[in-house]
Amino acid sequence: MFLTRISVTHPVFATMMMVALLVMGAFSLQRLGLDQYPNVDVPVVVVVTSYPGATPETVETEVTRPVEDALNAIGGLDEVTSTSYEGRSVVVAKFKLEVRSSAAAQEVRDKIAAIEANFPEDAKKPVISRFDPAAEPVLSVAISSASLDVPALTSLADQKVVRQLTTVAGVGQATLVGGRSM
C-alpha cells in the first residue's frame, strides 16, 4: 500500500524511478560478463584398458572390477560407471564439482598403478585421461556414395577431406572414424 500511495500521489516521481531502473539495467547488461565457451573444469576421469582376445565376461572379472574397487576408495568420488566390451574395459569416474580434475586424475593414476601388476599378462597398460569438453568434436561429416565401395570411399575421405580439413586455420584435429582400408 505504501508504494501504491506514493505512485498515485507523485506520478512524476514514480515515472522517474522506473526510468532510472531501466537505465541502470541497460548499463548493467552491457557490462555483464558473458563467454560463449566458458572454461569449465569437469572432474571426470576415464580409464580405458585393452585386453585383446578376452570375452566381455573375462574383461569384467579380471580388469573392470579391480579398477572399480580401487577407484571406490578415492575421496570426493561421486559416481563410477563401467562397461566391459570384447577386449576392452572402460571405467568412468565422476567426481564432485569441488574436486579439481587434475587432482582427481592424479589420484586415479596412483590407484591404478597400485593394482596394475595384478592385471592379466595380455592386458595392455591402462590409458587414464581427463574428460575435456573442449576436445569434443565441433563438426562431424558423414560421406556416402552410390558409385564407390567402402574401401575406395574411405581412401577418398582420408586423402581429400581429412587432409584439407587439417589445413584450415583454427582446426586442431581432423580424424577419420569408421571406414575400411583396402
Q: Check residue 181 and give left, alpha or beta (phi > 0: left; psi -120 to 50: alpha).
A: beta
Cβ-based neighbour number of residue 126 at 10 Å: 20
Q: Where does the pLDDT of residue 77 fall: very low under 50, low under 70, confident under 90, or very high at 90 and above?
A: very high
Q: Is the pLDDT of residue 37 over 90?
A: no
pTM of the model: 0.61
Candidates 65, 69, 70, 71; CA nearest to 84 is 65
Candidates 131, 67, 84; CA nearest to 104 is 131
Q: If you write DSSP's letter for every residue of 84-134 in order, what string do you get?
A: EETTEEEEEEEE-TTS-HHHHHHHHHHHHHHHGGGS-TTPPPPEEEE--GG
Residues of the chain with pLDDT > 90, as a percent, come to: 48
Domains and CATH numbers, the chain: 2-31 (no CATH), 44-133 (3.30.70.1430), 137-182 (no CATH)
Share the mean pLDDT of the chain: 88
Name the maximum alpha-carbon separation found in the chain: 88
What mean pLDDT do residues 106-126 have? 92
